[in-house]
Chains A and B, each alone.
Chain A
Amino acid sequence: MQTVSADILVIGASVASGALIAQMRADGYAGKVVVVDRDPDAPYDRPPLSKEFLTDTALRPQAPWWQAGCELVRGRATGIDLASSTVYVDAAGGATCAFNAGHIVVATGSASIRLPGEPEGVAHLRTAADARRLRQAAAPGRRVIILGAGTIGTELASSLVGAGCAVTLLDQADRPLDRFLAGHLGDAASQWIRQADVDLRLRTKVEGISRKRDSWTVAADSGPIEADLVVSALGARPVIGWLAGSGLDLLNGVRCNSHGTALDEAGRPVANVHAIGDVAAWARAKGGWRRFEDWTTAQRQGRHLARCLTGQCPVAPVDHEPAYFWTHQFGRRIQVLGTPERDARLVQNIDDPDREAAFYTLDGDRGPVAWIAVNSPREFALATRQLSAAPR
């Protein structure tokens, strides 16, 4: 078996690892960095995949955050040995290689959740290849069923109705974007989805999916629905299968301390193994662990870990800045600053139906916990500025 040595080995060419490498190089790090990714299209930016990329003609979204300064190897990581600091990789060429490194950074991201017994051919939206397949399938007049009315499902519904498809959007929850907005704005979101002629069916359970040649049937508890294409957008799970049995704590992603160093099953840090991005659950200042699946957290974790690896003072505590997430759908740009909470009180500050604009504050027990802007970038900028100027 071929053995490759590196100072730093990164598994996954993502925005998190791009930020890690950019920061290390900016800080003058000169060691050898090798990145392994199984996706032949990597690196590329993921947020556009469910948005403008679906109506674009580019082969893959650009990756402006990626720069040279590493060696990119195509292959699939199959296992890790903590003691010898080695990752085993099935290279794209067919050979099995052992990568030995001073530090291993796990950035394998997340993959689509699959339904139990999901038949072959159900579409997903995770990779550039998935998005290209959907783009091709999205012809005018085609009937598409989307399972899951989260951010990906709703963005996809928006893009597909825009392409002329007849879209049915199913979710078990009683409102769309339930997790993203912590249950808030369900009626408003239902309205803007339905106004675009999407057949939104809430409180709907899927009991089975079957296919006869090119015709699909989704058996919902409310009855069968037929379509030319079924897309599953039920959420993501961390890609940790290849780490099973390694001794790392994999309860929900790779559990890490507050600086991104992985913990073993006994809760001790494994000094040479780290995790960033969707796959990582870093310890939080207020206690506990949490996995994030957003672009902003991913790149912030990458930079933070870079500083730790080069022995410099970290950029800032990772959960010091409030979270930021955005979605673009049905002619609405929705921006969320902070972390929405279910029991927070929604206060509407702006309501301008002509512009389809609204601005909300979510008030918790000790002041606002999140700000939500719909087509209100000015108010959002103002809130961001006020928050960054406020003492913490």
Chain B
Amino acid sequence: MIRVWVDPSRCQGHARCLAFAPETFEFDDEGYAFVPEEKRTSERITEEIRLAVANCPERAIRVKDE
């Protein structure tokens, strides 16, 4: 299982994750990204999430193998 989340102390609202993995990422009232609770764990890392991680200029997306 992998766990995906956004480190709120790093996210600056570039919204690149919304461009690459719109199924996984959401944004709050101020435009900062987060992963809804029900989408935080999945079987494997998708290509979309990999691209979102790579494209985040602040490296705010965290992926952990559990």
Which residues of A approach B to under 8 Å, CB–CB? Answer: 19, 22-23, 26, 47, 64-65, 295-296, 299-300, 303, 315, 321-322, 324, 326, 333, 335, 376-382, 384-385, 387-389
Q: Kindly list chain A residues whose C-beta atoms are within 8 Å of the C-beta of B50.
A: 26
Q: Which listed residue, B12, B18, B47, touches A333 by the CB 8 Å rule?
A: B12
Given A326-B14, A385-B18, A300 and B33 touching (CB < 8 A)? no
Q: Kindly list chain A residues whose C-beta atoms are within 8 Å of the C-beta of B13.
A: 333, 335, 377-378, 380-381
**Contact assessment for A381 and B15 in the assembled complex, using a CB-CB cutoff below 8 Å:** yes
9 cross-chain pairs, A with B, having the tightest CB-CB distances, nearest first:
A377-B31, A377-B13, A378-B31, A64-B59, A381-B27, A384-B15, A381-B15, A381-B31, A388-B19
Q: Kindly list chain B residues whose C-beta atoms are within 8 Å of the C-beta of A65.
A: 54, 59
Q: Kindly list chain A residues whose C-beta atoms are within 8 Å of the C-beta of B33.
A: 381
Decide yes or no whether B16 CB sits under 8 A from chain A.
yes
- Which of chain B's residues has its CB closest to A380's CB? B15
**Contact assessment for A385 and B30 in the assembled complex, using a CB-CB cutoff below 8 Å:** no
Kindly state the separation between the CA atoms of A65 and B55 in the bound complex, as whole angstroms.
Answer: 10
Given A295-B57, A296-B16, A381-B15, A376 and B22 touching (CB < 8 A)? no
**Contact assessment for A22 and B54 in the assembled complex, using a CB-CB cutoff below 8 Å:** yes
**Contact assessment for A380 and B31 in the assembled complex, using a CB-CB cutoff below 8 Å:** yes
Decide yes or no whether B5 CB sits under 8 A from chain A.
no
Decide yes or no whether B38 CB sits under 8 A from chain A.
no
Given A379-B31, A388-B20, A315 and B51 touching (CB < 8 A)? yes
Kindly state the separation between the CA atoms of A387 and B15 in the bound complex, as whole angstroms.
Answer: 12
Expressed in whole angstroms, the minimum distance between the Cβ of B13 and any Cβ of chain A is: 3
Kindly state the separation between the CA atoms of A209 and B21 in the bound complex, as whole angstroms.
Answer: 50
**Contact assessment for B55 and A47 in the assembled complex, using a CB-CB cutoff below 8 Å:** no
Expressed in whole angstroms, the minimum distance between the Cβ of B55 and any Cβ of chain A is: 7
B31-65 interface bits toward A, Cβ cutoff 8 Å, 1 = contact, 0 = none: 11100000000000001001100110101000000
**Contact assessment for B12 and A381 in the assembled complex, using a CB-CB cutoff below 8 Å:** no
Expressed in whole angstroms, the minimum distance between the Cβ of A390 and any Cβ of chain B is: 11
Q: Kindly list chain A residues whose C-beta atoms are within 8 Å of the C-beta of B66.
A: none
**Contact assessment for A300 and B55 in the assembled complex, using a CB-CB cutoff below 8 Å:** yes
Expressed in whole angstroms, the minimum distance between the Cβ of A333 and any Cβ of chain B is: 7
Given A47-B57, A299-B54, A389 and B31 touching (CB < 8 A)? no
- Which of chain B's residues has its CB closest to A379's CB? B31
- Which of chain A's residues has its CB closest to B28's CB? A378
Expressed in whole angstroms, the minimum distance between the Cβ of B48 and any Cβ of chain A is: 10
Expressed in whole angstroms, the minimum distance between the Cβ of B19 and any Cβ of chain A is: 5
- A377-B31, A382-B27 are known contacts; what are 11 more A-B pairs with Cβ within 8 Å? A64-B59, A295-B57, A326-B57, A335-B15, A377-B32, A378-B31, A380-B15, A381-B15, A384-B19, A385-B18, A385-B22
Kindly state the separation between the CA atoms of A197 and B22 in the bound complex, as whole angstroms.
Answer: 41
Q: Kindly list chain B residues whose C-beta atoms are within 8 Å of the C-beta of A376.
A: 31
Expressed in whole angstroms, the minimum distance between the Cβ of A253 and any Cβ of chain B is: 23
Q: Kindly list chain B residues whose C-beta atoms are within 8 Å of the C-beta of A22.
A: 54
- Provide 17 A-B residue pairs closer than 8 Å at the C-beta atoms, listed in order of the A residue: A299-B54, A303-B51, A315-B47, A324-B16, A326-B14, A377-B13, A377-B27, A377-B30, A378-B29, A381-B13, A382-B27, A385-B18, A385-B19, A385-B22, A388-B18, A388-B19, A388-B22
Q: Kindly list chain B residues whose C-beta atoms are within 8 Å of the C-beta of A381.
A: 13, 15, 18, 27, 31, 33
Most buried by B among A315, A321, A377, A389: A377
Q: Kindly list chain A residues whose C-beta atoms are within 8 Å of the C-beta of B20.
A: 321, 388
**Contact assessment for B54 and A378 in the assembled complex, using a CB-CB cutoff below 8 Å:** no
Most buried by A among B15, B47, B54, B57: B15
Kindly state the separation between the CA atoms of A365 and B57 in the bound complex, as whole angstroms.
Answer: 31
Expressed in whole angstroms, the minimum distance between the Cβ of B56 and any Cβ of chain A is: 9
**Contact assessment for A384 and B18 in the assembled complex, using a CB-CB cutoff below 8 Å:** yes
Q: Kindly list chain A residues whose C-beta atoms are within 8 Å of the C-beta of B51.
A: 303, 315
**Contact assessment for A324 and B31 in the assembled complex, using a CB-CB cutoff below 8 Å:** no
Kindly state the separation between the CA atoms of A141 and B19 in the bound complex, as whole angstroms.
Answer: 44
Q: Kindly list chain A residues whose C-beta atoms are within 8 Å of the C-beta of B30.
A: 377-378
Expressed in whole angstroms, the minimum distance between the Cβ of A21 and any Cβ of chain B is: 12
- Which of chain A's residues has its CB closest to B14's CB? A326
**Contact assessment for A321 and B19 in the assembled complex, using a CB-CB cutoff below 8 Å:** yes
Q: Kindly list chain A residues whose C-beta atoms are within 8 Å of the C-beta of B12.
A: 333, 377
Q: Kindly list chain B residues whose C-beta atoms are within 8 Å of the C-beta of A335.
A: 13-15
